[in-house]
Amino acid sequence: MLKDILFLVVVFLTNIIQGITGFAGTVLAMPPGIFLQGIDTAKMVLNILGILASIWIVFISYKDIDWKEVRKILIFMIIGVALGIKLFTLLPLGFLLKVYAIFIVLIALKGILVKGEIYTPEIVLIGVIICAGIIHGMFVSGGPLIMIYVAKKLKSKSSFRATLSVVWIILNSYLAYSHYNQGIFTSTNINLLWMSIPPFALGMILGNILHYKMSQITFLKLSYVLLSISGIALIVK
């Protein structure tokens, strides 16, 4: 029961960040979610909440969507997601978790330490999209990598958030179908999902308010700090 309560607290806090940025909620929630509920439960519940969060953002920010970038991101991320799902079934879970933890720490350190714009060739950016898809297929956490691409292409924080949310609706729906076929939609997991809806909704409401009232840079830095702590916790587990 204590683990369930702690998981609900994680859902609330991380969806505040999701409401602000449109990308960081699931990747922040996944490491503690794995600790508290196991990887299958965490993936299933957080993926569905990610879909709901994205639908919420698209509904209130539809005019900010850049459909050209949505199409481009989806083409290459779908390739990566298919690869990620396959790799997850082939490689040992312990190894994947360590790689995942190192990945999120490196992304967090980049966000904290690297200042200003860095020139990145288009072919490298496409590679980043595919890699984001691979990570998303394995851990529903491609947001930090795809953020590298979107930050180069979209300068408005509202367009950034709304455009990514369309991508997550489509990709996470595909992942939900995959999870259903894998038998992850158990009655226990579905009950936890229902329990997660109230803290999720409250977190999204607060996050959306802060999105318009607070500095985006401040909350991105906060996301990166929390991300690094989560990754380190997985490494030393």
Q: Which of 29-33, 115-119, 176-180, 194-198 has the highest mean pLDDT?
A: 194-198
CA distances from 25 to 79, 120, 223, 231 (A): 23, 26, 9, 14
Residues 72/163, Cβ–Cβ less than 8 Å: no
Q: What mean pLDDT is predicted for residues 21-27?
A: 76
Residues spanned by the domain of 191: 2-236
- Structural tokens at position 237: 């587990």
What does the pLDDT read at residue 79? 93
The dihedrals phi and psi of 141, each to the nearest 5 degrees, come to: -140, 45
Residues 112/221, Cβ–Cβ less than 8 Å: yes
Number of domains in the chain: 1
Pairwise CA distance, residues 138 & 193, whole Å: 20
Burial label, 219 (beta-carbon count in 10 A; 0-12, 13-18, 19+) = buried
Q: Using the predicted structure, report yes or no on whether residue 118 has a pLDDT greater than 70.
A: no
Q: Which of 12-21, 37-46, 110-119, 155-164 has the highest mean pLDDT?
A: 37-46
> Among 124-133, 180-189, 227-236, where is mean pLDDT lowest?
227-236
Q: What mean pLDDT is predicted for residues 5-32?
A: 86
DSSP 119: -
Q: What mean pLDDT is predicted for residues 201-227?
A: 79
- Structural tokens at position 145: 């990598």
The dihedrals phi and psi of 97, each to the nearest 5 degrees, come to: -65, -40
Q: N- to C-terminal Cα distance for the chain?
A: 22
Q: What is the mean pLDDT of the chain?
A: 85
The dihedrals phi and psi of 217, each to the nearest 5 degrees, come to: -60, -40
Q: Using the predicted structure, report yes or no on whether residue 219 has a pLDDT greater than 70.
A: no
Q: Using the predicted structure, report yes or no on whether residue 41 has a pLDDT greater than 90.
A: yes
pTM: 0.80
CA distances from 157 to 66, 82, 137, 147, 163 (A): 12, 29, 25, 11, 10
Q: pLDDT tens across 69-92, in order? A: 999 999 999 999 999 888 888 888
Q: Residue by residue, what is the 3-state secondary structure of 45-79?
A: HHHHHHHHHHHHHHHHCHHHCCHHHHHHHHHHHHH
Angle formed by the axes of helices 2-21 and 187-213, nearest 10°: 40
Residues 141/135, Cβ–Cβ less than 8 Å: yes
Pairwise CA distance, residues 49 & 169, whole Å: 10
What does the pLDDT read at residue 77? 93
DSSP 203: H
